[in-house]
């Protein structure tokens, strides 16, 4: 569906738009966002159910293997997912994959063993690697260019903002299963089994919503793939083309550098948070909960402010600055021994990191051409997963090594004294300090890459126009 210029001008006038168009940019993106909220809600509930079953069946080892099964496919198969997203009809891809995820997840009702708890999350993650690039590549067709930051903010909220709601629903489903257990007919029903069914239904609902969207089929390349099948011999060529495109575009290269290095250091707060609250801040689980609350609250305010700030700060600098200041916030949090002050600095981390992530997505949407956008976002998914997974592995080990070093340099009490002042330096604090330095370095490298972009390159953005303005 196309619109003429007069209609587009009229719809840019807020008085002629409804609240959905004013908030979401178009009804089409609103419907896509609703489907994403539903499937994200189901995703988190499904993850909670899987981890719960894994812990009951195989303890900590089962839980770790289940989590790895959801991480590894993204590291290995994301580039292939990007190639297929650029070749297949994106709408059909998302619909088929959502129905497939519903069917693949249901058998977990009957797999009460470690094999099923590894296989099913593995298959689910492979399907997700195909769905995500197709979705991201479709967004610029659904919203005006000036609304991309808003759209990415809403997408971020759909991914992570539903976690508390998912936890509440999971608890409610567990309570319902306890009530149903009073009846012999439902004696075998558990909270996990209800969660699995709920998760599958969210995928079906998502597929039905997306099936009604008027997402363009794409360019000639998609039609050739539909007619002749996937030319697998060209897949490696497509991957190399995507890598070359990312490497040659300074703005996109800056986003990849900032995301990879920034997340590698920034995710240290995830892997070290509990140890910091106990070793340094003298707080237990409640203190760790406050840190999580701080980062969540900061991220919410950050996302809400990104559209205002982006009017005054160039996108590249907003991204790079957000990453760098996030690293500085982690450094300052690592150097305090007060829980209240740490919550403030961790809140600042969320406030600057969330807009950086949103702005990074917006830069990729605007700078990647439509025929390569799927591969660009697949590369981003690979970078994000590698960095987060690497951080979860690296920093706990680094904390142990630095703890030994601290004892050797500072003595058994691991305390550094300057006059009347002293500071306790366990390995966890030193590791978190290192993570903050790495994250800040990621922001600086992103800014350096962005500065190499010429004015001509800055103006050369993809010219795709929204095709479903009124749907």
Instruction: State pLDDT tens for residues 194-226.
Output: 888 898 999 999 999 998 887 765 554 444 444
Residues 27 and 37 in one domain: yes
Residues 226 and 265 in one domain: no
The secondary structure of residue 144, as a DSSP letter, is -
Task: Give the pLDDT confidence of 135-193 residue by residue, as tens digits.
Answer: 877 887 788 777 777 777 787 777 777 777 887 888 888 888 888 877 777 667 778 88
Whole-Å CA distances, 382 to 70, 323, 378: 13, 18, 6
| Res. 439 pLDDT band, cuts 50 70 90 | very high
17's tokens: 């738009």
Residues 152 and 273 in one domain: no
> What is the structure's pLDDT at 225?
46
The 10 Å Cβ neighbour count of residue 354 is 27
Residues 118 and 165 in one domain: yes
Q: What is the mean pLDDT of the chain?
A: 76
| Predicted confidence (pLDDT) at residue 295 exceeds the cutoff of 60 | yes
Task: Give how many domains the chain has, as a whole number.
Answer: 2
Q: How far apart are the first and last CA of the chain?
A: 9
* Dist CA 188 CA 159 (whole Å): 32
- Give me the DSSP letters along 71-85: HHHHHHHHHHHHHHH
Least confidently predicted of 48-62, 115-129, 261-275, 438-452: 48-62
Last residue within a domain, chosen from 230, 256, 277: 230
Is 471 a member of any domain? Answer: no
> What is the structure's pLDDT at 85?
64
Whole-Å CA distances, 213 to 289, 362, 468: 40, 22, 8
Question: How wide is the angle at C-alpha 127 spanned by C-alphas 257 and 376, nearest 5°?
Answer: 30
Percent of the chain with pLDDT over 70: 77
Is 469 a member of any domain? Answer: no
> What is the structure's pLDDT at 329?
93
456's tokens: 């001509």
> What is the structure's pLDDT at 463?
43
Name the pTM for this structure. Answer: 0.69
Largest pairwise CA distance in the chain: 77
Last residue within a domain, chosen from 213, 230, 247: 230
- Give me the DSSP letters along 404-448: HHHHHHHTTTTEEEETTEEEE--HHHHHHHHHHHHHHHHHHHHHH
Which one has a higher pLDDT value, 63 or 74? 63
Residues 248 and 379 in one domain: yes
Q: What is the CATH number of the domain that holds 185?
A: 1.20.1250.20
Cβ pair 90, 142 in contact under 8 A: no
| Res. 12 pLDDT band, cuts 50 70 90 | very low
| Containing structural domain, residue 290 | 232-461
> What is the structure's pLDDT at 23?
72
Beta bridge partners of 421: 418
* Dist CA 100 CA 85 (whole Å): 16
Last residue within a domain, chosen from 230, 252, 273: 230
- Give me the DSSP letters along 207-225: HHHHTTS-----SHHHHHH
Cβ pair 141, 89 in contact under 8 A: no
Question: What totals of helices (H) and strands (E) does the chain contain, helices first?
Answer: 18, 2
| Predicted confidence (pLDDT) at residue 462 exceeds the cutoff of 50 | no
| Predicted confidence (pLDDT) at residue 437 exceeds the cutoff of 90 | yes
> What is the structure's pLDDT at 239?
54
SS3 310: coil
Cβ pair 91, 218 in contact under 8 A: no
Of the ranges 52-66, 374-388, 421-435, 444-458, the best mean pLDDT one? 421-435
| Predicted confidence (pLDDT) at residue 352 exceeds the cutoff of 80 | yes
Residues 54 and 179 in one domain: yes
The 10 Å Cβ neighbour count of residue 366 is 17
Is 280 a member of any domain? Answer: yes
| Predicted confidence (pLDDT) at residue 440 exceeds the cutoff of 90 | yes
Is 269 a member of any domain? Answer: yes
| Predicted confidence (pLDDT) at residue 13 exceeds the cutoff of 60 | no
Is 187 a member of any domain? Answer: yes
> What is the structure's pLDDT at 438?
93
Cβ pair 252, 363 in contact under 8 A: yes
| Res. 254 pLDDT band, cuts 50 70 90 | confident
Is 151 a member of any domain? Answer: yes
Is 467 a member of any domain? Answer: no
185's tokens: 């007919």
């Amino acid at each position: 569906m196309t619109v003429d210029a007069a209609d587009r001008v009229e719809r840019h006038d807020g008085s002629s738009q409804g609240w959905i168009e004013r908030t979401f940019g178009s009804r089409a993106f609103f419907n896509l966002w609703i489907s994403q909220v539903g499937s994200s809600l189901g995703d988190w509930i499904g993850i909670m159910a899987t981890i719960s079953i894994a812990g009951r069946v195989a303890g900590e080892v089962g839980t770790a293997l289940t989590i790895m099964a959801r991480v590894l496919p993204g590291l290995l198969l994301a580039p292939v997912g990007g190639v297929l997203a650029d070749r297949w009809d994106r709408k059909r891809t998302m619909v088929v994959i959502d129905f497939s995820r519903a069917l693949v997840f249901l058998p977990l009702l009957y797999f009460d063993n470690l094999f099923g708890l590894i296989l099913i999350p593995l298959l689910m993650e492979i399907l997700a690697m195909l769905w995500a690039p197709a979705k991201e590549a479709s967004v610029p067709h659904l919203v005006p260019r000036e609304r991309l930051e808003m759209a990415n903010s809403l997408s971020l909220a759909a991914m992570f903002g539903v976690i508390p709601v998912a936890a509440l629903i999971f608890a409610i489903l567990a309570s319902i299963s306890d009530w149903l257990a009073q009846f012999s007919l439902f004696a075998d029903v558990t909270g996990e089994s209800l969660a699995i069914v709920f998760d599958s239904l969210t995928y079906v609902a998502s597929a039905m919503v997306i099936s009604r969207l008027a997402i363009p089929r794409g360019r000639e390349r998609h039609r050739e793939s539909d007619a002749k099948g996937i030319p697998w011999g060209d897949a490696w060529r497509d991957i190399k083309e995507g890598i070359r495109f990312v490497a040659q575009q300074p703005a996109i290269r800056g986003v990849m550098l900032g995301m990879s290095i920034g997340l590698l250091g920034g995710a240290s707060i995830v892997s070290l948070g509990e140890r910091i609250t106990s070793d340094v801040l003298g707080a237990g689980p409640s203190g760790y909960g406050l840190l999580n609350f701080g980062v969540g609250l900061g991220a919410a305010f950050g996302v809400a402010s990104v559209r205002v700030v982006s009017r005054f700060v160039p996108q590249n600098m907003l991204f790079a600055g957000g990453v760098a200041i996030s690293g500085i916030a982690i450094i300052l949090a690592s150097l305090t021994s007060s829980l209240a002050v740490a919550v403030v600095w961790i809140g600042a981390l969320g406030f600057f990191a969330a807009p950086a992530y949103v702005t990074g997505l917006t830069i990729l949407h605007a700078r990647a051409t439509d025929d390569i956008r799927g591969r660009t976002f697949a590369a981003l998914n690979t970078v994000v997963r590698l960095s987060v997974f690497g951080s979860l592995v690296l920093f706990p080990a680094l904390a142990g090594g630095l703890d030994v070093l601290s004892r050797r340099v500072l003595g058994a009490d691991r305390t550094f004294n300057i006059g009347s002042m002293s500071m306790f330096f366990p390995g966890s604090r030193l590791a978190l300090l290192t993570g903050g330095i790495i994250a800040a370095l990621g922001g600086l490298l992103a800014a350096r890459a962005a500065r190499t972009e010429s004015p001509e390159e800055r103006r050369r953005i993809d010219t795709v126009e929204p095709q479903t303005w009124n749907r």
